[in-house]
Chain A
């Protein structure tokens, strides 16, 4: 045993070292989410800010508590817990009670992330896992959307019930929904910022949105009618999910073919949930189901070793 402890675990070469650290990436993603957060606070009032602050602080607190109880080095300064908390907060309806936020961040951090080994080991996106946990547990509270003290259906469910929706408001974000998902403009602004820094690229969001569009045109029942198409693309959590949730490094494939397969699966699943299910929205379920498929996708599209040459066919290998 003593002999084994001396061995270092080293992956195969090359060992490229980059200046950018986990902390930097998390900080940049949090900055990228700021336009959506600020717009959410502007849109829904200061209670939305309270929801964000409580969720972020409690997420960091749970991670700190777990590290202390398990006698592990405190890992809250890499910013991943704060990012998870912020993503979860952006997925909350604006009038949610604060204890639900604390419970949600407990599930995200302790159950989905730390029980499976902490950052890098979680099998699904912690924020979305917690959102689905809350959606199933508190269906009434999580569907209680209110905008300018009028509660009602989200644009997507209104559309599903055959009501008229305002496409322009959906793009700008002056409508009902969760705190961070309403404004397409703010989300795309943040995503462009991240793409500029090379944190995310278009492979996953691009194939995701493209596949969903094609799926909607074929199965949606309204063809390529731009009114329904823009409403579907701008409504619900599609944009937030595609740019900020599906691109999570831990729970998405590494290779380019893998990312494309992943995006296609995401698009098809979202389409299936939105078109054929009784609910109007399915982005969060689509993403966590695809997260579970990632190990299989990586087997289908494995990482090519540096310097690896395909063996010739028919050779005496």
Chain B
């Protein structure tokens, strides 16, 4: 896949660099609002809307915004979109708005939005940035909806708010409380990493990261640097042996 095309950006956000399960960003809404699948969808879609629009506008403004004050400028852009989403949700989906409560205004300080603005939108063109935002947002939506679905089913015995018979009586309700969020999130991270590692092992590259020969060029920021068997690890081994001899 060619980098920085819209399709590649969507794939990147949903699978390759899923914000919740790979980059582990935006933990606050992930852990707090995923008590049901509907909450997950609502939170995810509102974040996606803010993320896409904020990415688009920050990318359009990237040449005007001075480097020294980029963070305040990003906040202004993001906060205006969050305010719009907040008011729209209050007007059209009051029930969901009440459920999500403080977490809608808190989208302003969501790490995913800041992370993408800083790492992608401020360096790339508007179309790619828009699709990057949509991809990341959908990745976030998918993962927190799955977490919400699992927690709702195991903890409360219901699916999308519909209780199944007298199943709730036999379900450990700890899963709709705080500890359940951590357990389900950790399990999903493990499962996802396992699947991707299997696929990549078949392809020949163990990890979903492109390695460079230059030490520290791309690998230094990589989350897998400790467990990486790619080129960087080989380079490092050679470097150490060279130093010894």
Q: C-beta contact mask, B163-190 vs A, less than 8 Å → 1, else 0?
A: 0000000111111010100010000000
A111 and chain B: residue at smallest CB distance: B183
A12 within 8 A of B: no
Please give, as numbers and ranges, the residues of chain A lying within 8 Å of B174 by CB-CB distance: 133, 136-137
A138 within 8 A of B: yes
A103 within 8 A of B: yes
Please give, as numbers and ranges, the residues of chain A lying within 8 Å of B177 by CB-CB distance: 136
> Do the beta carbons of B173 and A137 come within 8 Å of each other?
yes
> Do the beta carbons of A136 and B173 come within 8 Å of each other?
yes
B170 and chain A: residue at smallest CB distance: A99
Please give, as numbers and ranges, the residues of chain A lying within 8 Å of B179 by CB-CB distance: 136
> Do the beta carbons of B172 and A138 come within 8 Å of each other?
yes
Chain A, 121-155, CB within 8 A of any chain B CB: 133-134, 136-138
Bound Cα distance A99, B179 (Å):
22
Quote the shortest CB–CB distance from B58 to chain A (angstroms): 41
Bound Cα distance A138, B177 (Å):
13
Most buried by B among A99, A103, A137: A137
Give residues in A with beta carbon < 8 Å to B.
99, 103, 111, 133-134, 136-138
Bound Cα distance A254, B171 (Å):
38
Q: C-beta contact mask, B11-29 vs A, less than 8 Å → 1, else 0?
A: 0000000000000000000
Please give, as numbers and ranges, the residues of chain B lying within 8 Å of A134 by CB-CB distance: 172
Quote the shortest CB–CB distance from B19 to chain A (angstroms): 25
> Could you name 7 residue pairs across A and B whose Cβ atoms are closer than 8 Å?
A99-B170, A103-B172, A111-B183, A133-B172, A134-B172, A137-B175, A138-B173
B175 and chain A: residue at smallest CB distance: A137
Bound Cα distance A99, B171 (Å):
11
A141 and chain B: residue at smallest CB distance: B169
Bound Cα distance A164, B172 (Å):
35
Bound Cα distance A133, B174 (Å):
7
Bound Cα distance A138, B174 (Å):
9
Bound Cα distance A138, B170 (Å):
8
Bound Cα distance A134, B174 (Å):
8
Please give, as numbers and ranges, the residues of chain B lying within 8 Å of A138 by CB-CB distance: 172-173
Bound Cα distance A133, B175 (Å):
10
Most buried by A among B170, B172, B175, B179: B172
> Do the beta carbons of B172 and A137 come within 8 Å of each other?
yes
A136 and chain B: residue at smallest CB distance: B174
B171 and chain A: residue at smallest CB distance: A137
A133 and chain B: residue at smallest CB distance: B174
Please give, as numbers and ranges, the residues of chain B lying within 8 Å of A137 by CB-CB distance: 171-175
Quote the shortest CB–CB distance from A113 to chain B (angstroms): 15
Which A-B residue pairs are the 7 nearest by beta carbons?
Answer: A137-B172, A137-B174, A136-B174, A137-B173, A133-B174, A136-B177, A103-B172
Quote the shortest CB–CB distance from A58 to chain B (angstroms): 16
Please give, as numbers and ranges, the residues of chain B lying within 8 Å of A136 by CB-CB distance: 173-174, 177, 179
Bound Cα distance A300, B172 (Å):
37
Please give, as numbers and ranges, the residues of chain B lying within 8 Å of A99 by CB-CB distance: 170
Please give, as numbers and ranges, the residues of chain A lying within 8 Å of B173 by CB-CB distance: 136-138
Please give, as numbers and ranges, the residues of chain A lying within 8 Å of B172 by CB-CB distance: 103, 133-134, 137-138
Quote the shortest CB–CB distance from A134 to chain B (angstroms): 8
Please give, as numbers and ranges, the residues of chain B lying within 8 Å of A103 by CB-CB distance: 172
B237 and chain A: residue at smallest CB distance: A1
Bound Cα distance A136, B179 (Å):
10
Bound Cα distance A103, B175 (Å):
14
Quote the shortest CB–CB distance from A196 to chain B (angstroms): 39
A97 and chain B: residue at smallest CB distance: B170
Chain B, 179-212, CB within 8 A of any chain A CB: 179, 183
Please give, as numbers and ranges, the residues of chain B lying within 8 Å of A111 by CB-CB distance: 183
Quote the shortest CB–CB distance from B48 to chain A (angstroms): 33
Please give, as numbers and ranges, the residues of chain A lying within 8 Å of B183 by CB-CB distance: 111
Bound Cα distance A111, B174 (Å):
14
Most buried by A among B173, B174, B177, B179: B174
Bound Cα distance A133, B180 (Å):
10
B179 and chain A: residue at smallest CB distance: A136
Please give, as numbers and ranges, the residues of chain A lying within 8 Å of B170 by CB-CB distance: 99
A135 and chain B: residue at smallest CB distance: B174
Quote the shortest CB–CB distance from A110 to chain B (angstroms): 11
B172 and chain A: residue at smallest CB distance: A137
B186 and chain A: residue at smallest CB distance: A115
